[in-house]
Structure 1
Amino acid sequence: MSTSFASASPTTAPPPRPAGGPERRPRVLIGTDTYPPDVNGAAYFTERLARGLAGRGARVHVVCPSPEGSPRTVERDGVVEHRLRSMSSLVHDSVRLAVPLGVRGHLDLLLDRLEPDAVHIQNHFLVGRMLAAAARARGVPVVATNHFMPENLFDYVRVPGPLRPYAARIAWWDLGAVLSRTEHVTTPTPAAAGLLREQGFAKPVEPVSCGVDLAGFSPLDGGAATKRRLRARLGVPDRTTVLFVGRLDEEKRAEELVRATARTASAQLLLAGHGAYRRSLEELAVAEGVADRVVFLGFVSQEDLPDVYRCADVFAIAGVAELQSIATLEAMASGLPVVAADAMALPHLVEEGRNGYLYRPGSPEELAARIEDVVADEGGRLRMGEHSRAMASRHRLEDSLERFERIYLEAAEGTAVPASAAAGAVLSG
């Protein structure tokens, strides 16, 4: 085996598969080009999927780039991570790329040893593409989840504006070529599935929500006094707070949130996350005269994240390339009203006037007005938060995990059905 990779361990053959039946748990190998400590939605989803499946008794292995560069194999929370030798992506400081040399041979050995019921690829780039090819060569069914939109890469790879439509067409074609050779394709929302169809993808696509941990993300308990204590602990001023959680990169359009803050009477904007645009956002806050009302928390640990949501009054998101938005689901589970751009999949998470509002992307004035509508009426805001929580309950992580387990077993048995007929599919409407 190439020395570009960690040695495969354990070296013993996998235990026999259990007989079919309700207690049967799948054996799955998940392939991804991004995994924590990478900071993005696809990485977080993949980690929660892997750990959630392992917690239900599935045998889960993940193959992904090493965050340090050197290869290794490690087990965390029941998930065996096969970290591939990696190098800097050169386009983003938090993303590394697997070194291509020797990848295919390593994946062949891994598949032979693990004998998975299915492989599940989370990207169509190097790791996902090569794992899918290796699995097909061995007759192992391939399940794919699409988290990709070309817009989410353009800033990183510095594609000039005039060339972006052409680059997008090539990127969609390449994605379709990989996904078309899989047994089952999922996306987080019906809107994301529709987008694939609009791009000419002919195979059935099943919407399965990313899911949210309703126990881990829950509403504030204790009222205003508890909220004040949380804000003090996190270093957040005690005033009406609009929250955004996510990367501060181009496609998140956080500048609209800053400009909207300048158009509200007194609300402050709390930005939890880091990214290449932080400096320009800080400069914009000064230019808009709201530097004292824009708080940058930087990276927030998973342990502190639930309390970050609990110290806010409303969640706002301006991105127009969201295939679901895990952060918005977490905010809803935390009992927050939502003000979101009327774009891509975000409308699936907003019931106008019931748990929040949509606004026209590119209109900070309209965004500010919708925020004011929420924060001006405390009773209405609380009712909206309760409805957000009720909507989030339709996206239970356990339901998504159960559906993925069935997809793996159906694919292994050759009984996978089209999305339109998939009983119990976890839809994201």
Structure 2
Amino acid sequence: MKLLTFSTLFPNEQQPGHGIFVETRLRYLLASGQATSRVVAPVPWFPSSNPRFGQYATYAKVPRHEERHGIQVSHPRYVSLPKVGMRVAPLLLARAAKAEIGRILDEGYDFDLIDAHYFYPDGVAAVMLGKYFNKPVVITARGTDINLIPQYSLPKRMILWAARNAQGMITVCQALKDEMVQLGVAADRVTPLRNGVDLQRFAPLPERDAVRSELGLDRYTLLSVGYLIERKGHELIIAALPALPDAELLIAGSGPDRAKLEALAAQLGVSDRVRFLGPVAQPELKRYYNAADAMVLASSREGWANVLLEAMACGTPVVASNVWGTPEVVAAPAAGVLMRERTPLGVADAVKALRAAPPERADTRRYAELFSWDATTEGQLRLFRDILQGRSSPVWQPSGVRP
């Protein structure tokens, strides 16, 4: 089958880690030999690549077209409007992608189905495009698109419109499906297909002590991985360090809250035990996962946190907040410990509990091996086939909402 993958969450030359979970799932799907895909991954338009414009300059440097792992990826530009942008984002996104999708069709790639990722604005825009091009649409919900954005009335209405008009929906965990049902989506139209982990990329290293020595680690080591924003909870882990006097913390990631987190570490007198690594590429991240004694995730919201499985695949147990899909990932003692409460005390207590009864690293790795991508790939193929086999001859019907 021929797919068109559509999402703003997809890596590019300038942002190789952006939305890598979407690319990874797609790569495993294509490796089955039963599907092909072209990718349309729009990026915000910005007129200048001058570094003084920060993230916006990065958008300007993203190539219009590139090939990643043998996959053709297009990056059309869409207008992103400050403050009011959230309300009109789906329409602007669809309009920007329309010409590029038309070009792909003109080149002879007549795709069967649009595989969209993230419900708002991407999924809403995908349904608009599906109606325009007479193509069925499947939308994957991934986290904040369902557990946060529907708090806003207009996006919620548009998400429900997209859900009614999509031919299929996927969630990365059961908790997100339950939330969609609470929003008013029919349960039998939503298929939970959890993310997997790349067990070849993330694996135990034979000389862990040597890696720790190379990285200059000589204390009990905690690792926190994620964008430096409040939702990820890095500040809770830093605030737990006074109760963990012999522990050090490595933080991998970049983001707007770095200065605030550095100030918090200084205020609490733990700066000498907190190391900010900045953005870390996956091959190097594997070394940090292996070197750490525990990976800590203190997020307030997570659909399915891939970093948990990546750490476990390296043999490192986790400490995680008990939110959304995380209990579905951390579901056995070999995996790690869930926090009793999402506070600095909750972090400290969970770390102490893990230290008191640590699983064998080999057992943690074996637990991660239960989460290969095979079942997810099979589930996608089954869903896509069912939709395509049940689809009648396409008849374009105006909906009143289209690009």
1:244 paired with 2:224, answer: yes
Please list every run of 5 or more consecutive structure 1 residues that lacks an aligned counterpart in the other structure: 1-25, 155-165, 416-429
Report the TM-score, using the length of structure 1 for normalisation. 0.77
Inter-CA distance 126–388: structure 2 relative to 1 (3 Å threshold): same
**Partner residue of 2:380?**
404
* Cα distance in 2 for residues equivalent to 1:409 and 1:358: 38
* Cα distance in 2 for residues equivalent to 1:257 and 1:168: 30
Please list every run of 5 or more consecutive structure 2 residues that lacks an aligned counterpart in the other structure: 44-58, 84-88, 392-403
Structure 1 residues 124-174: Cα deviation after superposition (integer angstroms, max 9, x where no partner): 3455433322323444221110124269878xxxxxxxxxxx944543332
* Cα distance in 1 for residues equivalent to 2:284 and 2:81: 29
1:315 paired with 2:295, answer: yes
Pick the structure with more helix per residue: 2
User: Displacement, 1:291?
Assistant: 0.5
* Cα distance in 1 for residues equivalent to 2:31 and 2:231: 34
* Partner residue of 1:35 out of 10, 14, 24: 10
* Cα distance in 2 for residues equivalent to 1:152 and 1:247: 18
SS at match of 1:62: strand
**Partner residue of 1:72?**
64
1:50 paired with 2:29, answer: no
1:124 paired with 2:101, answer: no
Query: Percentage identity across aligned positions?
Result: 28
1:188 paired with 2:172, answer: yes
**Partner residue of 1:210?**
195
How many equivalent residue pairs? 366
Q: After superposition, where does 1:7-406 map in structure 2 within 5 Å? A: 26-37=1-12, 43-57=19-33, 58-66=35-43, 67-68=59-60, 72-86=64-78, 102-111=96-105, 113-149=108-144, 167-203=151-187, 204-229=189-214, 231-232=215-216, 237-351=217-331, 353-375=333-355, 377=356, 380-383=357-360, 385-406=361-382
* Cα distance in 1 for residues equivalent to 2:378 and 2:60: 33
**8 Å Cα contact 1:41/1:326 also seen in 2:** no
User: Displacement, 1:208?
Assistant: 0.6
**8 Å Cα contact 1:325/1:346 also seen in 2:** yes
User: Displacement, 1:368?
Assistant: 0.5
Report the TM-score, using the length of structure 2 for normalisation. 0.82
**8 Å Cα contact 2:298/2:321 also seen in 1:** yes
* Cα distance in 1 for residues equivalent to 2:280 and 2:334: 29
**Partner residue of 1:158?**
none
User: Displacement, 1:89?
Assistant: 6.4
* Cα distance in 2 for residues equivalent to 1:70 and 1:299: 18
Aligned residues: CA RMSD: 2.9
**8 Å Cα contact 1:220/1:227 also seen in 2:** no
User: Displacement, 1:278?
Assistant: 0.9
SS at match of 2:342: coil
User: Displacement, 1:123?
Assistant: 2.6
User: Displacement, 1:29?
Assistant: 0.4
Structure 1 residues 381-424: Cα deviation after superposition (integer angstroms, max 9, x where no partner): 242x3343233222212332232233222221128xxxxxxxxx
